[in-house]
């Protein structure tokens, strides 16, 4: 039997996931695909959302109308802790030969695959299927492959690569569904229609269990919360920390913070420190966090407060403060300067 592995946070599972699963199963001729919710992705910061058990049930709900080819595999949730794909691959290898095992990832993940734990071993123990993703193209020729990957190639043909490990990589084009989990979460928290991006069974489960509600009730006073986050940034040596009350103007949030770091690493570190401090003080995680891997522009979304942490050089390019000139400057002061 040809067995696929399709992992992810599934927070929540949406029509993009379903489209990918159905297309890959058919085009690659897979007999069964193990859909594996992760306990915690080691390359992502944890965000506010359903429990692991609820995400597992959401995946079950999303697949119950799609037949026998898909198996919801809870092994990573049972293991707990950080989820590493190599562990799941080796678990399935007990029953499946490497030539019959296929790891399914998106083109965005393929670009950063060298960051995965034991990625070269994965490419010894399983084949790879790489799908298109909105905004991400798949390589058209060998020189477009990621640098880390080029030395692993034994033979390159259009949409198919033979690897020196004995395994292969197949590229599959999807009729992309323009949706991401972060976009779906925003729609749900804003109580906007989601029938085009979520299976009905998934939407029903979310509504019945009160998932993806706005986090404002946990935070309460967002003016005070903005000041708290600003103090954390000051404590980590942020440059030019500014806060704005945007309640009087049209803006994506009621409050915003902007700060700079002396490097991309400093910017990412400051954003992570804010997330940790808020979790400890308010027991709340962000609704989403973007850009932390690169550190050029990290966006931390707490609903009514959005925090922008830049590498200072990049901040000067965007001049976001000009967008908020009609808002109220909170005139934040560094409490650590005596």
In-domain check, residue 67: yes
Of 129, 159, 182, at which residue does a domain stop? 182
Same-domain pairing of 81 and 157: yes
Residue 204 has a CB neighbour count (10 Å cut-off) of: 12
Q: What is the dihedral of CA 51, 111, 102, 117, to 10 degrees?
A: -60
Same-domain pairing of 154 and 224: no
Q: Are strands 239-245 and 168-172 parallel, antiparallel or unpaired?
A: unpaired
pLDDT at 176 (0 to 100): 67
pLDDT at 245 (0 to 100): 97
Structural domain range at position 314: 216-329
In-domain check, residue 27: yes
Of 182, 205, 231, at which residue does a domain stop? 182
Provide CB contacts within 8 A for 70, sequence distance 6+: 21, 25, 32, 33, 35, 63
Q: What is the dihedral of CA 150, 152, 156, 158, to 10 degrees?
A: -80
Whole-model pTM: value is 0.84
Q: Which residues, listed in sequence order, are joined to residue 255 by a DSSP beta bridge?
A: 245, 305
Same-domain pairing of 141 and 262: no
Yes or no: say if 241 and 233 are a contact pair by the CB < 8 Å rule: yes
The count of domains in the chain is 2
| Per-residue pLDDT of the chain in tens (338 residues, 90 and over written 9) | 999 999 999 999 999 999 999 999 999 999 999 999 999 888 788 888 899 999 999 999 999 988 789 999 999 999 999 899 999 999 999 999 999 999 999 998 999 999 999 999 999 999 999 998 777 778 888 888 999 999 999 999 888 999 999 999 999 998 867 788 888 998 998 889 999 999 999 999 999 999 998 888 889 999 999 999 999 999 999 999 999 999 999 998 999 999 999 999 999 999 999 999 999 999 999 999 999 989 999 999 999 999 999 999 899 888 888 889 999 999 999 998 87
Q: Could you give the angle at the alpha carbon of 293 between the alpha carbons of 276 and 324, nearest 5°? A: 75
Same-domain pairing of 53 and 127: yes
Q: Which CATH number do you get for residue 260?
A: 3.30.460.10
Same-domain pairing of 60 and 141: yes
Same-domain pairing of 305 and 230: yes
Query: For the chain, how many residues are written?
Result: 338
Same-domain pairing of 132 and 255: no
Q: Is 116 helix (H, G, I), strand (E, B) or coil?
A: coil
| Structural tokens at position 97 | 């030969």
Residue 322: phi and psi, rounded to 5, are -65, -30
In-domain check, residue 152: yes
């Amino acid at each position: 039997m040809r067995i696929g592995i399709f992992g992810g946070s599934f927070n929540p599972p949406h029509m993009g996931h379903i489209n990918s699963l159905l297309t890959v199963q058919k085009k690659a001729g897979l007999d069964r695909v193990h859909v594996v919710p992760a306990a915690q992705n080691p390359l992502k910061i944890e965000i506010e959302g359903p429990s692991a058990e609820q995400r597992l049930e959401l995946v079950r709900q999303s697949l119950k109308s799609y037949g026998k080819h898909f198996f919801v595999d809870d092994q990573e949730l049972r293991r707990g802790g950080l989820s590493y794909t190599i562990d799941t691959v080796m678990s399935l290898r007990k029953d499946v030969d490497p030539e019959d095992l296929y790891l399914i990832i998106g083109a965005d993940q393929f670009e950063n695959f060298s960051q995965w734990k034991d990625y070269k071993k994965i490419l010894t123990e399983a084949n790879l299927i790489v799908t298109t993703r909105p905004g991400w193209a798949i390589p058209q020729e060998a020189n477009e492959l990621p640098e880390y990957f080029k030395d692993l190639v034994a033979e390159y043909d259009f949409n198919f690569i033979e690897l020196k490990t004995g395994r292969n990589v197949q590229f599959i084009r999807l009729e992309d569904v323009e949706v991401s989990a972060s976009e779906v979460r925003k729609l749900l928290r804003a109580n906007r229609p989601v029938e085009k991006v979520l299976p009905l069974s998934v939407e029903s489960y979310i509504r019945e269990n009160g998932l993806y509600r706005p986090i404002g009730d946990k935070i309460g006073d967002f003016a005070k919360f903005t000041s708290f986050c600003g103090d954390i940034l000051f404590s980590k040596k942020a440059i030019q920390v500014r806060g704005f009350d945007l309640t009087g103007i049209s803006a994506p949030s009621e409050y915003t913070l902007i700060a700079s770091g002396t490097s991309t690493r400093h910017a990412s570190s400051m954003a992570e420190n804010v997330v940790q401090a808020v979790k400890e003080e308010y027991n709340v995680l962000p609704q989403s966090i973007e850009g932390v891997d690169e550190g050029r522009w990290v966006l931390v979304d707490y609903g009514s407060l959005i925090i922008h942490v830049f590498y200072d050089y990049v901040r000067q390019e965007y001049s976001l403060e000009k967008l908020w000139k009609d808002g109220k400057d909170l005139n934040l002061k560094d409490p650590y300067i005596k």
